[in-house]
């Protein structure tokens, strides 16, 4: 009995030693610091913002080599705190200066989405809407026109399934990028779409419950990464609306109503110890209303800013129309030599269904356009109400060559030729 007890203790000690060595070897392979990649999965992402927030304010030994350039750095000696994953807090010290502060968060901003080595995708706990809180997206107006701003209310939890133990949450809003206006600003402060935290809510109240938000627009992916974080360590509980999401739709022509959806996924909700809790995702769809009829009848100021293609390819430039979008200079023959010529654009040319004329600054000088066939027969006349753009429906015309007469208010005229392609 004594021998078996001794053997059992020896085996237990050996197993414990091997586990410690295995853990040590496993974490030692992750000791190089890549500024911003705090969880060391090979890519800087929204999840790293959670790691930074939990460790914010902590102190420890400085690195020998400081800086936040995208490169590997030899780590400092271990700090006193570890994450649940076993990584040391020193991984969050992106600049190596011995304190986790805003400059370390800026390293995430500067190096966002950069990768190194083999990328291990972040893992997200999938919630069940029948048992877990939902991160819910609700459109304030589900029927909108091109060029308008659509706003969604964002709810986190409800009275039946409230949120407990909130310290921070990250998630992604996915959308069809073809229908969203091009972003011209900083992706960390996008002008095409943004999420605003509401004040005086259970998540963003006063004092210790104050929160902040971060967002990054991955325009090419059709995705907006979002983070909500408490300002201080601690936990909130509650439910209800917490934010609004607004996005500007592309200002283009739709020949038919278009349905498009916005989805929230890749959700990670944690408490201040980085324990994760499940949250269910959601999808909200809207209808972008056809504006072709309104454009041709001049009942709205909505005008397309993109090329008009065929019904099978309503957006962008087709192979057939490439190269047909250059400026066309139209010289009014009955003008004095000092008068400026009018520059307009006519595209796509040829076209099967729709053509658009861009008058630019000359719009105020144009009164009417007339379409003639090749035998000089008038087919259509359209009055111009000083709009800079005019959409023309040519779907019912037989294929062939036609002439567009531009009539100026002063009596001047000019002629442009276009081709009607077969439907």
- The single residue listed with the structure tokens 């039946």 is 160
Q: Identify the residue with better confidence: 277 or 396.
A: 277
For 229-275, the DSSP string reads EESSS--EEE-SEEEEEEEEBP----SS-EEEEEEEEEEEEE-TT--
Confidence category of residue 155, pLDDT binned at 50, 70, 90: very high
Rounded mean pLDDT, 92-118 = 97
Query: What's the CA gap between 394 and 399, in Å, rounded?
Result: 10
**CA distances (Å), 122 to each of 33, 72, 190, 275, 279, in order?**
18, 20, 24, 15, 16
The confidence score (pLDDT) of residue 413 equals 64
**And the tokens for 137?**
């997206």
Looking at the predicted structure, is the pLDDT value of residue 169 above 90? Answer: yes
How would residue 39 be classed by pLDDT, with cut points 50, 70 and 90?
very high
DSSP string, 67-88: --SSS-B---S--S-B-TTS-B
Per residue in 316-368, pLDDT (tens digit) is 333 443 333 334 443 333 333 333 445 567 778 888 888 888 877 767 778 88
Query: For 71-80, 206-215, 296-305, 346-355, which range has the lowest pLDDT when averaged over its residues?
Result: 296-305
pLDDT band for position 385 (50/70/90)?
Answer: low
Average pLDDT taken over every residue of the chain: 81
pLDDT at 114: 98
Domain 135-288: CATH class, spelled out: mainly beta
Supply the DSSP string of 357-388, one letter for each residue: EE-GGGGGGEEEEEEEETT--EEEEEE--S-S
Q: What are phi and psi of 297, to 5 degrees?
A: -100, 0
Q: What is the mean pLDDT of residues 206-233?
A: 95
Residue where the block lists tokens 């890519």: 43
In the predicted model, what is the mean pLDDT of residues 205-210?
A: 88
Position with higher pLDDT, 350 vs 249:
249
Question: How would residue 423 be classed by pLDDT, with cut points 50, 70 and 90?
Answer: confident
Instruction: Work out the pLDDT band at 390, boundaries 50, 70, 90.
Output: confident
pLDDT for 311 beyond 50 = no
Structure tokens given for 363: 């719009």
What share of the chain has pLDDT > 70, as a percent?
A: 77
Residues 384-408, mean pLDDT to the nearest whole number: 80
Taking only the tens place, the pLDDT of each residue in 118-143 is: 999 999 999 999 999 999 999 999 99
Q: Under CATH, which architecture does the 299-420 domain have? A: Sandwich (2.60)
**pLDDT digit string (tens) for 283-299?**
999 999 887 544 444 43
Q: By the 8 A CB rule, do 99 and 93 touch?
A: yes
| pLDDT tier at 253, thresholds 50, 70, 90 | low
- What pLDDT band is residue 415 in, cutting at 50, 70 and 90? confident
Q: Higher pLDDT residue, 388 or 412?
A: 388
- Cα angle, residue 305 at apex, residues 181 and 283 outer, rounded to 5°: 30
Count of C-beta atoms within a 10 Å radius of residue 143: 11
> What confidence category does residue 34 fall into, taking pLDDT thresholds of 50, 70 and 90?
very high
The yes-or-no verdict on residue 105 having pLDDT over 80 is yes
Mean pLDDT of 26-49: 84
What is the model's pLDDT at position 394?
86
Strand arrangement, sheet containing 135-139 = 135-139, 149-156, 241-248, 193-197
In this structure, are residues 268 and 185 in contact, taking their beta carbons and an 8 Å threshold? no
Q: Which of 15-19, 168-172, 252-256, 276-280 has the lowest mean pLDDT?
A: 15-19
CATH 2.60.40.3080 domain residues, the chain: 299-420
The mean pLDDT of 266-287, rounded to a whole number, is 97
Query: What mean pLDDT do residues 219-223 have?
Result: 95
Cα 221 from Cα 234, distance rounded (Å): 34
Check the CA dihedral 401-345-363-310 and report its sign.
positive
Q: What percent of the chain has pLDDT over 90?
A: 56
Average pLDDT over residues 155-174: 97
Per-residue pLDDT at 322: 38
Question: How many H helices and E strands in the chain?
Answer: 4, 21
């Amino acid at each position: 009995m004594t021998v078996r007890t001794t053997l059992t203790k020896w085996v237990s000690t050996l197993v414990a030693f091997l586990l410690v060595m295995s853990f040590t070897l496993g974490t030692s392979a992750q000791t190089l610091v890549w500024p911003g990649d705090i969880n060391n999965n090979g890519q800087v992402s929204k999840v790293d913002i959670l790691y930074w927030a939990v460790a914010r304010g902590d102190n420890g030994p400085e690195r020998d080599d400081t800086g936040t350039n995208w490169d590997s750095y030899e780590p400092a000696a271990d700090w006193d705190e570890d994450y649940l994953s076993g990584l040391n807090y020193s991984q969050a010290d992106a600049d190596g200066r011995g304190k986790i502060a805003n400059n370390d968060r800026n390293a995430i901003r500067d190096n966002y989405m950069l990768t190194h080595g083999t990328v291990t995708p972040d893992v997200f706990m999938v919630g069940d809407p029948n048992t877990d809180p939902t991160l819910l997206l609700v459109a304030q107006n589900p029927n909108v026109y091109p060029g308008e701003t659509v706003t969604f209310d964002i709810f986190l939890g409800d009275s039946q399934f409230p949120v407990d133990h909130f310290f921070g949450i990250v998630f992604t809003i996915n959308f069809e990028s073809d229908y969203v206006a091009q972003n011209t600003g900083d992706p960390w402060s996008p002008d095409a779409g943004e999420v605003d935290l509401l004040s005086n809510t259970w998540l963003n109240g006063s004092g210790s419950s104050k929160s902040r938000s971060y967002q990054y627009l991955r325009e090419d992916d059709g995705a907006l990464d979002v983070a909500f974080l408490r300002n201080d360590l601690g936990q909130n509980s509650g439910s209800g609306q917490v934010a609004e999401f607004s996005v500007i739709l592309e200002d283009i022509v739709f020949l038919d109503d278009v349905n498009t959806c916005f989805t929230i996924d890749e959700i990670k909700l944690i408490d201040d110890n980085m324990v994760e809790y499940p949250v269910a995702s959601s999808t909200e769809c809207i209808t972008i209303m056809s504006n072709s009829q309104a454009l041709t009848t001049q009942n709205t100021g909505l005008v397309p800013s993109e090329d008009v293609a065929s019904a099978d390819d309503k957006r962008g430039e087709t192979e057939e129309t490439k190269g047909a979008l250059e400026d066309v200079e139209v010289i009014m023959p009955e003008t004095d030599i000092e008068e400026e010529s009018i520059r307009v654009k006519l595209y796509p040319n040829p076209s099967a269904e729709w053509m658009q004329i861009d008058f630019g600054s000359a719009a105020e000088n144009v009164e009417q356009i007339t379409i003639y066939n090749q035998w000089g027969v008038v087919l259509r006349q359209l009055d111009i109400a000083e709009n800079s753009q005019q959409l023309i429906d040519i779907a019912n015309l037989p294929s062939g060559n036609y002439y567009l007469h531009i009539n100026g208010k002063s009596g001047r005229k000019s002629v442009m030729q276009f081709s009607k392609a077969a439907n």
